[in-house]
Amino acid sequence: MPNPACIIVLGMAGAGKTSFVSKLISKLQNTGKPYVINLDPACKETPYSANIDIRDTVNYKEVMKQYNLGPNGSIVTSLNLFTTKFGQVIELIRKASKEHSYVIFDTPGQIEVFTWSASGSIITEALASEFPTIIIYTVDTVRSVSPATFMSNMLYACSILYKTKLPFIIVMNKIDVVEHNYAIEWMHDFMAFQDALENMENDYTYSLICSMSLALDEFYSHLKCCGVSSVTGDGFDECLKLVETAVDEYERYRLSHQLTMLLHFDIMLIRYCITIFTLVSKELE
């Protein structure tokens, strides 16, 4: 059985991760029959039925009481506790590969709980070492119309890409309210982004945002990006194509990584043989 592709859905609080996961499940139902894992211990309810739900293992309100924590500390601790059992989750995913082609992960609202915690790294690395794994970063098109907010969101996305080193897709969500054309234009045309900053010229952050935008040029040039509405379902066809491309990219990367490792090993072996040979020939002289 081929390994199922794991899709980790990340994004700022309220960007629409859960709604996106829900729509993605319905779009993949006929082709990939997704296996769904909810990693958000603090959500009240999910619009989908999860195959594995962190809330079945840890009660985040109880964790709060037991360890005398605030809400954020409790979410982090709940995820840490769940991660201690992640070996069992991997086992369940392996079993699920008989029936499911995709495994979709919904993550906590507070993005840093997943992206800057040990448990987030352990989960991501455990998945990526065994299954094709990709990241989908959801962006709220409505909230990102301000250039400064857009820039900070992109910097966050960029930091996640470099931290995980996994194929990465930016999904601009809520296009039923605000189209994502402005974001695409800002990514590919620096002058357009600078024009949008027009009324910020006297702001002390102006030159910083301009330089950041130039620095992100390389990030933008290789980026897979699409616009969707998790309410109407618009844009999901393109999104699914990008998912396929990202999964292929993971496979190519894994192959090239393994080849590099093999080559490295061969060179080490040849060097080792030459050293032995030199030592033996000196001994014989």
Ligand X SMILES: Nc1nc2c(ncn2[C@@H]2O[C@H](COP(=O)(O)OP(=O)(O)OP(=O)(O)O)[C@@H](O)[C@H]2O)c(=O)[nH]1
The footprint of ligand X (CB under 6 A) covers 11, 13-19, 40, 43, 109, 173-174, 176-177, 229-231
Q: How crowded is residue 245: how many other Cβ atoms within 10 Å of its Cβ?
A: 14
Residues 93 and 95: their CA atoms lie apart, in Å, by: 5
- Could you tell me the two tokens for 225? 């990006």
Q: What are phi and psi of 106, to 5 degrees?
A: -95, 140
Give the residues across from 225 on adjacent strands.
Answer: 170
Q: Which is nearer to ligand X, 9 or 64 (CB)?
A: 9
Q: How far is the CB of 162 from ligand X (least distance, A)?
A: 22
Question: Which CB sits closer to Mg ion, 40 or 169?
Answer: 40
Min dist. Cβ of residue 45 to Mg ion (A): 10
Minimum distance of Mg ion from residue 110's CB (angstroms): 10
* Residue 137 phi, psi (nearest 5): -105, 115
Dihedral sign for Cα atoms in the order 158, 162, 164, 167: positive
- Shortest Cβ 169–ligand X spacing (Å): 16
Q: By rule CB under 5 A, what count of residues binds Mg ion?
A: 2
Say whether residue 18 binds Mg ion (CB under 5 A).
Answer: yes
160 to 189, contacts with Mg ion by CB under 5 A? none
Which lies closer to Mg ion via its Cβ, residue 18 or residue 78? 18
CB closer to Mg ion, 17 vs 27: 17
Residue 145 contact, options Mg ion, ligand X, none, Cβ 5-8 Å cut-off depending on partner type: none
Query: Residue of minimal CB distance from ligand X?
Result: 109
113/157 with CB nearer Mg ion: 113
**Beta carbon of residue 262, minimum distance to ligand X (angstroms, whole number):** 41
Question: Which does residue 19 bind out of ligand X, Mg ion, none, counting CB within 5 to 8 angstroms by kind?
Answer: ligand X
- How far apart are CB 75 and Mg ion at their closest, in Å? 12
Which of 15, 169 has the CB closer to Mg ion? 15
Least Cβ distance, residue 228 to ligand X (angstroms): 7
Separation CA 9–CA 48 (nearest Å): 14
φ, ψ of residue 252 to 5 degrees: the values are -65, -45
> Which residue has the CB atom at the shortest distance from Mg ion?
18
Q: How far apart are CA 101 and CA 283, in angstroms?
A: 59
User: Is residue 38 a contact point for Mg ion (CB under 5 A)?
Assistant: no
CB-wise, 40 or 76, nearer to ligand X?
A: 40
- Partner whose binding site includes residue 117, from ligand X, Mg ion, none (CB under 5 to 8 Å by kind): none
